[in-house]
Structure formats: C-alpha cells, structure tokens
Structure 1
C-alpha cells in the first residue's frame, strides 16, 4: 500500500488540503490528515469547518466534502495513519514537504511513499514530484466564488437576466482565504438558478454614509456567521440589518448574523437602550444572545431542525430538515417572546421545541436567520435550498422594484402643457 503526501507551503487555511482533496477524488482514495495549526490572529476562521459528525477542522478541508461527498473525519496521529495505510492506499495533506526521516520510518513498515508538492503557476496550481521535479498534473484554478475546477477548464453555466448585486458583510480575503465555504455555497446557488450576481463586500470599517452608499443599489444582503478579525466589531453587520429593515431588502443571517438581525429588530421595536448583543448595560436591557449552558454544551455537526407550520422556512425546507451546526450561543427566549407580537417569528426550533434555531419577519420580502451553517452542506451539483430561496427572492424583489420604478417614472400627459415650461 502507498501513502501519497501532498505538501502545500501556504499560510492560507482555505488552500490547505484542497489539492489533496482533488487527487483523492481523481484516484477514488480516502484522505487522512494530521492536526494542523494556522495563524489565528490573521486567520480567525482558520478552524471553522465542521463535519457531519461534529469534528471541527481546518476550513480548507471543506473541499474534500464538496468534491467527493465524503467527510474528512477526525484528525489522525502517525500511528493510526500507518495502520490504515497497511490496508489501503491513502492521500495525506501536509503544510511542508515530508522529511526524509519520516519517509524512512513509514517505509520501514513496508508502506510505499509518494511525495508531491503544490506549485503555483500564475493563477493555476499543479502537483510536482518532490524527487524528480516533474509536473504530475494539469493546472487547477479557482473561480470567482473560490471554487476549484475539476480540470483545466470549468464547465460554463448558461446565465440569463441582469446582474444582481448581493452584499456580503465581511472581508473578502477572510472569506476567500480563511473560510471559503460561504462564498462557494453562494456560487452554487447562483449556478443552479442561472443567475448573474456580483458580490459587494461590506467591510467592518464601513459605517455611516459610506455604508449607505455601498448598500444603496444592492439587491440582497448576507450576514455570514464567521468570527470577526482581531479588533473588529459587529457594527457593520448590525447597521446592514437595520438597512435591510428600513429598505425592505432581502436579508439572510447565518449563525451570529441571525443574532444581529434580532438585535436590529429589537432595538427598532423596544428601543436602543433595551437590547444589547452581549452583557446588558443596564438592568432594563435584554440580551440578544446567551451562551449555551454547560448542560446544553456546544452544538456541533448535523442537527435536526423542526419548522413552524405556515412559515417561509417550512415552505422551503419542509416540516423537518437537517442543518450543520457550529453553535456556541442561543437567542434569548424572553426577548423573542416580546418581539413575537411585533411580527418576528420563531420559524424553527431544535428537537425539544424549546430553543429557537430560525427566525423570520412578517411584512418583509425576506428577513430570515438560521442558527446553523447551511453553507457547509452545499455542493456545486446540490446547492443548499436556503441559499437558493434567498437568491430567488433577491431576483423577485429586483423585478418588483423595476416594475414600481417604471410606473413612477412613466411620463404622463399634462392637462395644461404650458405648465411644463421652465
């Protein structure tokens, strides 16, 4: 049996394991992986990929599940890796090329060793034999959504209609290089709907008039549930949620993004001083988010969500569905009870029916938040239905806006033509 090691000397978590996943798919082999660490200061979302079984891994290992449909499993030590390689061929990603000492140790068990490294040629990535220097693969590239093409040329999607602008509240480099799942999943949904979309990035530094001018002509907004970079605060997420409320702009909130949506609506209904994100500033304040108790523990992996009858969530997802989770906090049930009468619905709960897992708002085109991470269950040929529902409403709202704008600006013959002079 043989272990194929693929070294990729890059600091970017989103690239770790990607070429190894591609080779594992081409050769129909399992991928095993060692524990790996990244610079958490520069890449706070480096370890945010969660498997169906609840293993938290380096974010780049999302590519294995996306390309092969197989989860990456938990991290392996050297002994367990050798034990598995005695029974079957495997592929293993590395941060640095395999050392001669480690190669000799593995070969001592009668296991073959193939050592490849990832080299970059302009915007393409290739595999090079560490011994001979010979290129062993075609060039692989990433598209506008950060997704890898299985081959040198990706299959084009026949798109129709005008280009719509979707705002993503976050940093482009963080989403592409540290946590690539959200951007890739948005591309999956756009492909399935044959939509042309441009992603507008709303960085945490955008506030006030700058934020207004950025959001002025967007057709939809996404609040992703990723960790903010060091020193950033969720002010732009909250301000974007307020904008979506005031301008009837379709809004989808993921995990922490959902909590920002509830904060925005709560402050609008109950007042600024009564609703805070964490740690009440006064005795009269209500927290939006509460930490999960030690009895609840952190919710990881695939979990069941129960939809509330008559909601948009139930209409799109059915009475019961599965969502991938990386949950550390929950919504304050006391605040939700106060906001219920104002139109904010708890549209999804956990299996006990006690903990809110999704919210939506009456009298709004699309104001939906979910506690889980739908992007982790998306694949190019099987996009997540929640993201598809969001983009469908983005398209519909744009059409409705065009119709209403056309009606408002349509010229009307004046009864007294002379009144039009001057």
Structure 2
C-alpha cells in the first residue's frame, strides 16, 4: 500500500519546503522504506526551461530530459532516487493537457471547469505510477497557502485526503515562528493564521514543521498545538542548522519521522540507520583544510542559479575532506579588457558554469585564459566549456575571430554553433535558429566515449559514460584537428564521433571542459568523480600559493 505525504508551506516563501521534503524522504529511507518525491508548481509556465535564473534559480534536468524545479535536485541529492519527467508538474502543463483533450473532443462536449477537470488532472499526476518498491510518495506543493494560483492544487490534495483516507494520507505544514527582538518573544500568531487559512479550505495538517532560529519554549509548543488542533508531539521544531546536510539528523532528533509513522499507525518500523548522515556531518564540520574556488558566472547575484554546482563542489570537498569556499564572481565585470582580473588572484580553482547569451561571455573567456596561463585548475561546464574552447582557438590556434554563432552569426570561425551537419568535406554547415526556445534543447542523459589514456578516462575509471545535457549549441567538430595541434585533446565524443563532449589540456595541472552538466548527478554519498578530482587538484594548488 502506497502512502502519500503532502508538504505545504505558509506565512512566507523560501522556508525550505524542498529541503524538508528531501530530508523526510531520507529519514524514511533510513528505515528501509522506498520513497519517491514529487513537486507541484502553481505557476503558468509549462516548465522552468525558459524562466530567468534570476527569478527561478537553476533549471534541474532529469535523465529523461525534463526541465524541472531545482527542488528535484534536493530530492535526488538527499535520497539518491533519480527524478523523472513524471515528478514535476506545473499549472501550465496541466492546462495544456486539458486544452489539448478539449480540442480533441475527449470531454464529449462537457463544460471544462477547475472542478473537476483541473483537480482531476492534478490527482492523476499525484497518483501516477511511482515505480517499483515505493512505500511513500512525498508531494511538495509550491508557493504558500492563500496564493490564488495554488488553490486548485490545495483542492486536489484535499480531495485525495478524503478519497484515500487518513490511513494513506498525511498533511505536513511548514510554517514560520518569527522572533521579535523588541518584544523579546517568539510569535506563534503567523503560524496560527497560516493553519487557519489551510483549514478554511478543508485541510487539517497532522504535523507542523515550525521554522525558527532558536528553541521553541514548551508553552509555545502547547499554544500552537491547541490553536492548530494537533498533538503537542506533532509540533516539530525546525531550527536553523549550520549546513543543509544536518537537516535529516536535526529532524530525526525532533521526532519528525517517528511522528509520520505514528500517524500511519506503523508500529513495527525498523530503527533508522543514520550512520551515513553522521559521517557526512563529521566531514563537513571537521575538515582537514580549506580551498577557495572562484565561480565565474553571469547570475552570481542569485546563488540559487548555481545551486547544483555549489552542492557538487561541496561533495568534492567531502571526497577530499576539505571545506570548499565558493567566491562568486560576476563575469560581466571582465567583459571590458581594461578591467584587471585581480579578484582571481589567490583562488585555488576556477569553475566556469553554464549559461546563455553574449553578456558575460568575454569575461568567461578572459577567466579561462587566466586559468590556462597561470596554471590554475579550471573546470568549464557547458557554456563554460564552449568559452574555453573559443579562448584556445583565439589565443593558441591564432583564430582571432573565433566565436560562437550564438553571439556572432557572421563569425568566420564558428567554433560553436547550431550544427545540422558537422562536416561536409571542409564545409561547416550551421542550421538556422528555431524560434521555439523551449523546444530546441538537447536535454537529458546521453552517452559519450572517452579516449583511452586520457585524464577524464582516468578520473571516471571508464571509457564509456552517460551524463545529463541541457544546451542548444555544440562545439564544431570540424575544428578538432586544428585545435589539437596546439596542445588540447578532445578526450570525449558522442558514440558516433560527431559531437565533442569533453576537452582537456594535458600540459596543465587540471583543465577540463565538458559539454554536459556533471553537477546534476553528484550526491553527498557519491561525489561526482570530476568534482572530486577538481577539488583534489585545488587542494594541491592551495599548497603552492
């Protein structure tokens, strides 16, 4: 019997519903249960693929090519369960499906309404097959209770609570307990009002997760329990912790997983094995050293834009038992050649993450040159790899006007472009840009073959890999022979040999560029080998500076 846990939020956004959902999934896993986590997003976009990182943060890509909310990254990192297209739905996708069905005549002339048609689509998503061996499906509802766009989702899960009954459904509400310094008190009223709003639409939460920055006095817990109609033991303190990977241990200490099992009358659950989380916490809080990585990107004013990269760097630190400090550096500041790169002085490694567009591109090229000439470990990802290839073409191969057609459609040396056919003799053919930005991406997991004896083959310990992609432009394979004359090696290609996936500079402490996004597959218990190797190189660099 599959049980469903719905996680909602109140008072304010950004309280951490995604982390809470992921941590609870990890706790249930630690007791031997199978879990799947899903996210219901109320916005009207079909998916986050065309949304600005400044508004939405990063786009997380699954193996099957779905562009999803960044919370799915938390789900994967905490539980190790690979997310799928069927684990993230938006209002936009729901309405698209309904309109498509209506146009086909599937509703036989019925008047299409929010209830039952929209709510039925949401329920179908929640109840869709979670796969083999799943005991709990955890569904996070985006936004906060009271948001007008979220009402159909709350109504749908209310209906599910009635249809499946309390033996198969549990409602957890994440809320805020602010401390007012002037009054010297922690205030419960925002939580009371949030739960009142939730109850007004027919949902009685069984468990309250109360975010706070200090311990909750017992009398305040009692007040919350009384006014919100829950057991005192169901008021769970969700206090701020030093690191997000402390959350599962903190929630277990407060009894969250036990309270969930009590609600479902599961009295014979195995004791949790949290030894892995204990080890991670020990490594994070007791490192042997520290390295500084310069992250050169165009969205550095919004750290969530590089959430998976930052987490993968942290995992690389765990693999080497060091603390990784990330210095966020805006690449736009270096677009002007007269601007010195002194901010890069002293970093032990440079990472050039993905992105789109001309703004900040030249700054990444300059940072890549700095890393190559100064012998600083450098890791280029997707757009960062493309800019590194262009830097090599310009400054080593003498192709001064080399560029990507994304930024210069008339470049005489299209090192990167929208390629229809990579080579016809010596001819380089570039296809026209499709105007549907959401439908022209290379998305999801694709295989690559690595060159035997290369650095990446040694790092992976394999000659064939599969990695997740999210890009529209490719490095032009027609230029590989010319570039390899100047000391670089294209050490990873698509199985048919037409798409460059990885390049490296052998005569360098550590310089690797990849077209894919390895950060999306990194886990605290399984750091991605490229990130582990990159941080190992940064550790060596730290001993030289």
What are the superposed Cα offsets for residues 346-380 of structure 1, whole Å, 9 maximum, x if unpaired? 11011112211000113221111011111111111
Q: Is the 8 A contact 1:202 1:211 kept in 2?
A: no
For residues 172 and 136 of structure 1, the distance between their equivalents in structure 2, rounded to whole angstroms, comes to 37
Q: Distance in 2 between matches of 1:245 and 1:45?
A: 33
Is 1:285 equivalent to 2:412 in the alignment? yes
Using the alignment, how far apart are the partners of 1:156 and 1:121 within structure 2?
29
Counterpart selection for 1:327 from 465, 471, 477: 471
Question: Number of matched residues?
Answer: 393
Task: Structure 1 unaligned segments of length 5 or more: list them.
Answer: 403-422
Match among 71, 78, 81 for residue 82 of structure 2: 71
When structure 1 is superposed on structure 2, of 335-344 and 88-97 the one drifting more is: 88-97
Match of 1:358 among 502, 527, 540: 502
Structure-1 separation of matches of 2:527 and 2:487: 29
Unaligned runs of 5+ in 2: 90-120, 180-207, 211-224, 254-277, 421-430
Offset of 1:319 from its aligned partner?
A: 1.2
Change beyond 3 A, Cα 1:11–1:241: farther
Classify 1:282/1:66 alpha carbon distance in 2 versus 1 (closer, same or farther; 3 Å). Answer: closer
Which residue does the alignment assign to 2:37? 31
The aligned residue for residue 105 of structure 1 is 159
**Aligned position for 1:407:** none
Whether 1:137 aligns to 2:243 is no
The alignment yields a C-alpha RMSD, in angstroms, of: 3.5
Does 152-161 or 321-330 show the bigger shift?
152-161
Instruction: Give the Cα–Cα distance (whole angstroms) in 2 for the partners of residues 280 and 3 of structure 1.
Output: 48
Structure 1 residues 142 and 58: CA distance shift in structure 2, 3 A? farther
What corresponds to 1:375 in structure 2?
Answer: 519
What do the CA deviations read for 1:158-192 (whole angstroms, capped 9, x no partner)? Answer: 3224x3221111344533x3441110110011111
Residues 5 and 291 (structure 1), Cα distance of their counterparts in 2 relative to 1, 3 Å cut: same
- For 1:368 and 1:360, locate their aligned partners in 2 and report how far apart those are by CA, in whole Å: 4
Tell me the CA shift for residue 312 of structure 1: 0.7
Q: Partner of 2:236: helix, strand, or coil? A: coil
TM-score w.r.t. the length of structure 2 is: 0.64
Tell me which residue corresponds to 2:347: 218
Mapped partners of 1:398, 1:373: distance in 2: 26
The alpha-carbon deviation at position 252 of structure 1 amounts to 0.5
Q: How far did residue 43 of structure 1 move?
A: 2.8
Contact in 2 for aligned 1:288/1:335 (Cα 8 Å):
yes
Query: C-alpha distance in 1, partners of 2:53/2:61?
Result: 20
1:190 aligns with 2:289: no
Q: Matches of 1:371 and 1:356 in 2, distance apart?
A: 8
8 Å CA contact retained: 1:48, 1:179: no
Deviations 1:315-368 (A, max 9, x none): 111211222222322101123332110112111011112211000113221111
More helix per residue? 2
Q: Determine whether 1:313 maps to 2:459.
A: no
Matches within 5 A, 1:328-347: 328-347=472-491
Question: In the superposition, relative to structure 1, how do residues 46 and 164 fare at CA in structure 2: closer, same or farther (>3 Å)?
Answer: closer
Tell me the CA shift for residue 122 of structure 1: 7.4
Aligned counterparts of 2:319 and 2:326: Cα–Cα separation in 1: 17
Could you say what secondary structure the match of 1:117 adopts?
strand
Question: 280-289 or 196-205: which moved more?
Answer: 280-289
TM-score by length of 1: 0.81
